[in-house]
A and B are shown apart, each in its own frame.
Chain A
Amino acid sequence: MLLAYDLGAFISENRAELLDALLNTLKVSAFAIVGALVIGVVLGAARAHRIPVVSQLTAVYVEVIRNTPILVQIFMIFYGLPQLGITFDQFTVAWLSVMIWGGAFNSENFRAGFQAVAYRYREAGFALGFTPFSTFLNVTLPIGGRIALPSSINTYISVVKNTSLMYVIGYAELTTTSLNISNLTLETAEALTVLAVVYLALVWTLSASIRLLESRLALPEAR
């Protein structure tokens, strides 16, 4: 070992950079989670209600994303697409790739949630004169959305963890920044400690929120 382990010095000397990096991780995660939520609800509904064409295309999208490594997907977007004249900056590649990945898993979460809504509830909606679309908004979405919530938060947790992969495109999020600092200062152990502590704090907070939300948003009949 070249240097004595000094976590305090590592953090205080690089506080501004590390905070910026944490902010970037959170920004990419937030963009990707919101996008994955929208993709999940829309495509999950298309799958659950068997809307022709969209439903089949969604099935293909989900299978392709689930059966190829996310790192290969990132390489496709970052190295492959520019060959076809489609170029994004690093930040866009960062949130776009995890959003596409999270959206695929999330559309399965919401498909299962919407399919779990008993047909009699929707029938009641139709009987009250709701159109199919407003039946979805007023009946299927609130009930199925709650059922899908825990599994979708699990997907968001994976989205946050996967932002660390932006190390390969050099985007200055937490993993990239922390390791780049340690490359200059040789404080590898300190850099890895920072990464472990911050990611565990983020992930554990999110999974605690699942348990909290699960009890608060449980369907009245399940209470």
Chain B
Amino acid sequence: MPDWVEPVARYILEEGLPGTLRVSAFAVVGSALIGVVFGTLLTIRFLPLQAVIRLYIEVFRGLPILVTVFIAFFGLPSISQRLEFDALTAASIALVLWGSAQVAEATRGAVQSIPNEQHEASSALGFGWVGRHRFVILPQALRRLLPPFVSLLVNIIQNSTLAQVIGGLELLEAGKRQNERLAAFPPIGLGEIHAFEIFAGVAVLFFLISFPLTRLAAYLEKRLA
């Protein structure tokens, strides 16, 4: 292997990978929590509430995620100084807005697919709305949500690269910085272009992370169907 490979690979894995993982973890947890709550609330027949959640879902599913990233990074600070975030956090927030809209829509479907008898039986046992959903409905609905959750995880990991556009240090940005360093003239760089190898390497990394997960999603879908 040529000499330039080792430091480049080390930088991408040590500096880039943690960024990707941080954004992905934050986005998945945030999307799941907010999405499940919004999706469950959407099944309540109270029009103003339904309208607000519906609008939230349609807006954040409809916007290109990059535009949501720009809104989180450039737009929020113009509302208030306290809403100024670093690139990775802003990207995470944007992915939560998008991901929770996806989860809310899926949760609504899963909750509504639970037969009405389950609601009646748990009401008869004295559960209120919260207890009924917390202990009876959601545990059943969440099982049906497992395959879409895994797909969401794959999508979030891939879309975490959008942090690169606003300068967040994740896998793709790490690759880009190394590409620029090697292209610079000596003594800073080598004056060599290795863009193809570097970005192909980044693509392979993403493939290695995503492929087992897409297989898992397909397997779960078949098993739980």
Contact = CB atoms under 8 A, between A and B. Distances in A.
B196 A80 contact: yes
B116 to A, nearest CB: 27
Given A67-B214, A72-B203, A199-B62, A79 B195 contact: yes
Interface string B188-225: 00000111100110110011001100100000000000
A79 B154 CA distance: 25
Interface stretch (A123-131, A144-152, A158-166, A215-223): A158-166
B70 interface: yes
Interface residues of A, number: 38
Contacts of A167: 66, 165
Main SS of chain B's interface residues? helix
A207 B105 CA distance: 15
Interface stretch (B27-35, B71-79, B129-137): B71-79
A179 B172 CA distance: 22
A199 B64 contact: yes
Nearest to B214: A67
B61 to A, nearest CB: 8
B165 A195 contact: no
Given A67-B214, A72-B161, A168-B165, A83 B203 contact: no
A179 B193 CA distance: 30
28 contacts: A67-B214, A69-B159, A69-B160, A69-B172, A69-B206, A70-B158, A71-B161, A71-B162, A72-B172, A72-B199, A76-B196, A76-B203, A79-B199, A80-B195, A84-B196, A161-B63, A161-B64, A164-B64, A165-B64, A167-B165, A189-B75, A192-B71, A195-B67, A196-B59, A196-B63, A196-B71, A199-B62, A203-B62
Interface of B: 58-59, 62-67, 70-71, 74-75, 78, 154, 158-162, 164-165, 172, 175-176, 179, 193-196, 199-200, 202-203, 206-207, 210-211, 214
Going nearest first, the 6 A-B pairs with the smallest beta carbon separation are A67-B210, A80-B196, A164-B64, A69-B158, A161-B64, A79-B195
Interface of A: 1, 63-64, 66-73, 75-76, 79-84, 161-162, 164-165, 167-168, 175, 179, 182, 188-189, 192, 195-196, 199-200, 203-204, 207
